[in-house]
Chains A and B, each alone.
Chain A
């Protein structure tokens, strides 16, 4: 659905003279694309407006250097502005005497309880002795959920009966932490709407009772335009000190982070990157900026590969390749692996610079050829897959019929496979292997 912003800008500037300064008209044309990309990434409309304004001011009249294209020039400025808006990663404020209090606030379902457990684990790793406090008395079984998480991590959880008002529970918990020698108290509050006066009052009371060092807004990375109003609402009532962006492991671009930063000015402290309690990451502004712009995200690609690919299968394939007895069965197995990474086009999008290339090949064609190959191999018997030599005319006709393809398709696949096998045989040659090694080791990639 999204086109890479870089590709789009390239398109705009291709029609322009590459030399001289960026004119106002050039910049405006480019900024239209920037605006759309940011809106698609869920950056708030008004925030986009001010951001684009700042970029415009900086971009007009800039000398286009010889080494980069005007498109890249504009991207660079946008990227810098995004980085400036996102700010640097900030650690938790752990100053002051024991116990420090960290209060988590946010809408329902943003991930407060899971984040509370993650934070506790993170703090324990840095020699703190955290106490989790179940201050969500509203959602059924929320207290139980925190208890279970605490048990799993072997971190104490302070609970009281759900009938006790949360401000009182929190005050008692801080007292308990003092006598129990806990260095940090993490308050897991109930999810609430920023317009719910009664519940926002409750937050103010909790704050007054516990004097938190940190009041962190836990926000879902998938949040849309609403992010601004939510952040503003919480900031007005309790003065946030930071933000934790959760569920960043999906495919949301996370434009909400920009919106929230812009309206509150509080730093982004952590990113929630998965369901496991260990999956809490320190925030990297550059990664998020690239993601919001829809630019290549190699790191995400690597992470996905790690998650999806079955290491054993990949290794088995590589070993067989080197041994030269890679057959069609192994080939099919490796194809399955590639498919697990998701739609090919999406995988390609994550590789910087691939946008241009994939444009010339239809993604549908790629997917289709992959599907066809799979169908053909699947229509072979196990014996045929292991011994492609036996594939005579009549077998090929049967396979074509079974896979809904033509004999030509089958022939083509077998020819390609033979070609591959030949390559493999050469690979097997010790002399070639030695050459290969030296190429990768000492000589760099000159050979390519």
Chain B
């Protein structure tokens, strides 16, 4: 459907690395002849080490063990199938992203803590939608971090998206207003808003995001249509708190899981799916502008298990 070019190779590589690290061992685990107590213990250890989190891991195992006994499963491979099914349940069943819906102008708000990879993700998103022939306007609403505007301008140029920017330390709300106005005037398809990184516990900064939403909503009906939380795959259980706070203030509609090209696997998305019901929309798998792909839950879980 989409041409990922260089990206798809990277994705495969990154998933290979996954198999060789934590999740890979799960397959080995299920390679035996019988389901032992030791198998469950090892499984618990592996899931926790993948940042799935204690609570989610224990509940997941309870469900799987319950099904294994009630369905009379004796073969480890069948137990693995059940595990996969249950893991998948935590990640799928969500309505697809609404970015592609036809409307006068689609507004995407991108939020996250400092250093999660918002600006790079926006560059990749721009390229992604440019390749589908859409015109993209970027709003440089991170007016706080030094040179963040320059960074977005460079990416915008590489992706073929126009960047609306003000001076450093300008009011981000004014940037959003101008970018949407410009998007409407030039009949662009998508406006993507880059916001300053902020820790979810900073009350005033979170309020500022609420304000940005209000500004978008006043200009375009039901905007922002998608609010994406950019989440670093190396983040541990704090990611749940991040997602919860951002959901409460700006109603995030999806997660972009970045830096999945390392050895970290972002197992915390299972906990986020379970406790908050927020789906993963995209994954970032490298520093290049093409290193982004739509999230496919089946492929994600399969990739973690397949030989």
Q: Is A1 an interface residue (CB 8 A)?
A: yes
Interface string of A94-135 (1 = CB under 8 A from B): 000000000000011111000000000000000000000000
Q: Does B237 touch A at the CB level, under 8 Å?
A: yes
With contact pairs A220-B232, A275-B114 given, residues A42 and B150 touching in the complex (Cβ less than 8 Å): no
The A/B interface has a contact count, at CB < 8 Å, of 144
Chain B residues contacting A253 (CB-CB under 8 Å) are 237-238
Beta-carbon contact of A247 and B146 below 8 Å? no
For B51, the closest partner residue in chain A by CB is A224
A223 contacts the other chain (CB 8 A): yes
User: B201 near A40 (CB under 8 angstroms)?
Assistant: no
A173 within 8 A of B: no
Q: Which listed residue (A1, A41, A111, A140) contacts B114, Cβ 8 A?
A: A111
Q: Are A250 and B236 in contact (CB under 8 A)?
A: no
Tell me which of A39, A193, A250 contacts B238 (CB under 8 A): A250
Contact call A107/B234, Cβ cutoff below 8 A: yes
Query: Contacts A193-B262, A226-B51, A251-B201: A108 and B237 contacting too (C-beta < 8 A)?
Result: no
Residues of B within 8 A of A142 (CB): 147, 151
With an 8 A cutoff between CB atoms, is A36 at the interface? yes
Task: Assign chain A's interface to a size class.
Answer: 35 or more
**Cβ–Cβ < 8 Å partners of A340 in chain B:** 203
Chain A residues, Cβ within 8 Å of B264: 224-226
- Nearest residue (CB) in B for A45 is B49
Main secondary structure of the interface of B (DSSP, over half): loop
State A340–B145 Cα separation when bound (angstroms). 25
Query: Which residues from chain A contact B144 at a C-beta distance below 8 Å?
Result: 275
A140 contacts B236, C-beta separation under 8 Å: no
- Asked whether any CB of chain B lies closer than 8 Å to the CB of A187, the reply is no
Q: Give the residues in chain B near A152, CB-CB below 8 Å.
A: 146
Partner of A255, one of B153, B236, B239: B236
In-complex Cβ contact of A39 among B17, B48, B151, B262 (8 A): B48
Known: A140-B151, A250-B201. A220 touches B240 (CB 8 A): no
Min distance, Cβ B191 to any Cβ of chain A, angstroms: 21
In this assembly, does A342 line the interface, its C-beta being within 8 Å of a C-beta of chain B? yes
Interface flag for A230 (CB, 8 Å)? yes
CA distance A146 to B259 in the complex (A): 23
Residues of A within 8 A of B150 (CB): 140-141, 144-145
Identity of the chain B residue whose Cβ is nearest the Cβ of A341 in the assembled complex:
B203
The digit string for A234-277, where 1 denotes a CB below 8 A from any CB of B, is 00000000000001011111011000000000000000000100
Q: Interface centre among B51, B54, B200, B262, by most A CB within 10 Å?
A: B262
Q: Is B282 an interface residue (CB 8 A)?
A: no
- Please tell me if A431 contacts chain B, counting CB pairs below 8 Å: no
> A145-172 toward B: CB 8 Å interface, digit per residue (1/0)?
1111100100000000000000000000
Tell me, in angstroms, the Cα distance from A145 to B142 when the chains sit together: 13
A380 at the interface (CB under 8 A from B): no
B54 touching A36, Cβ below 8 Å: yes
B-side contacts of A195, CB under 8 Å? 17, 262-263
Do A140 and B146 form a contact, CB below 8 Å, given A193-B261, A195-B262, A251-B238? no
B219 sits at the interface (CB 8 A)? no
Are B51 and A225 in touch, CB under 8 angstroms?
Answer: yes
Residue B154 interfacial (CB < 8 Å): yes
- Residues 200-237 of B, flagged 1 when their CB comes within 8 A of A and 0 if not, give 11110000000000000000000000000000101111
Interface check B270, CB cutoff 8 A = no
Provide the residues of chain B in CB contact with A140, threshold 8 Å.
Answer: 150-151, 154-155
Is B263 within 8 A of A224, CB to CB?
A: no
With A and B bound together, what is the CA distance between A229 and B49 in angstroms? 11
Q: Answer whether residue A292 sits at the interface, using C-beta atoms and an 8 A cutoff.
A: no
Query: Does B117 sit within 8 A of A, measured CB to CB?
Result: yes
- Judged by a CB distance under 8 angstroms, whether A428 is at the interface is no
**Chain A residues within an 8 Å CB radius of B114:** 109, 111, 247, 275
Cross-chain contact B151 with A139 (CB below 8 angstroms): yes
A316 at the interface (CB under 8 A from B): no
| Residues 203 to 239 of chain A near chain B (Cβ within 8 Å) | 220, 222-227, 229-230
User: Does B66 have its Cβ within 8 Å of any Cβ on chain A?
Assistant: no
Q: Does A308 contact B (CB under 8 A)?
A: yes
A217 to B229 CA separation, bound complex (whole angstroms): 26
- Is B113 interfacial (CB-CB < 8 Å)? yes
Complex interface: chain A residues within 8 A of B199 (CB): 247, 249-250
Q: Which residues of A contact B237 (CB under 8 A)?
A: 40-42, 224, 253
Report if A138 contacts B (CB, 8 A): yes
Interface string of B144-169 (1 = CB under 8 A from A): 11111011011100000000000010
Q: Is B241 an interface residue (CB 8 A)?
A: yes
Q: List 21 A-B contacts (CB under 8 A).
A: A107-B234, A107-B262, A108-B117, A109-B114, A140-B154, A141-B148, A193-B263, A194-B263, A195-B262, A195-B263, A222-B238, A223-B235, A226-B234, A226-B263, A227-B234, A250-B238, A251-B200, A251-B201, A251-B241, A308-B203, A342-B203
Interface residues of A (CB under 8 A from B): 1, 36, 39-42, 44-45, 107-111, 138-142, 144-149, 152, 193-195, 220, 222-227, 229-230, 247, 249-253, 255-256, 275, 307-308, 340, 342
- Identify the B interface with A (CB < 8 A): 17, 45, 48-51, 53-55, 113-117, 144-148, 150-151, 153-155, 168, 199-203, 232, 234-242, 259, 261-264, 268, 287
Smallest CB-CB A-B distances: 8 pairs: A224-B236, A109-B115, A42-B236, A145-B147, A148-B146, A141-B151, A141-B150, A250-B199
With contacts A145-B147, A249-B202, A251-B238 known, what are 20 further pairs, Cβ within 8 A? A40-B55, A42-B237, A44-B49, A45-B45, A45-B48, A108-B117, A139-B151, A141-B147, A142-B147, A144-B146, A152-B146, A193-B259, A223-B234, A224-B236, A225-B264, A226-B264, A247-B113, A252-B238, A255-B236, A342-B201
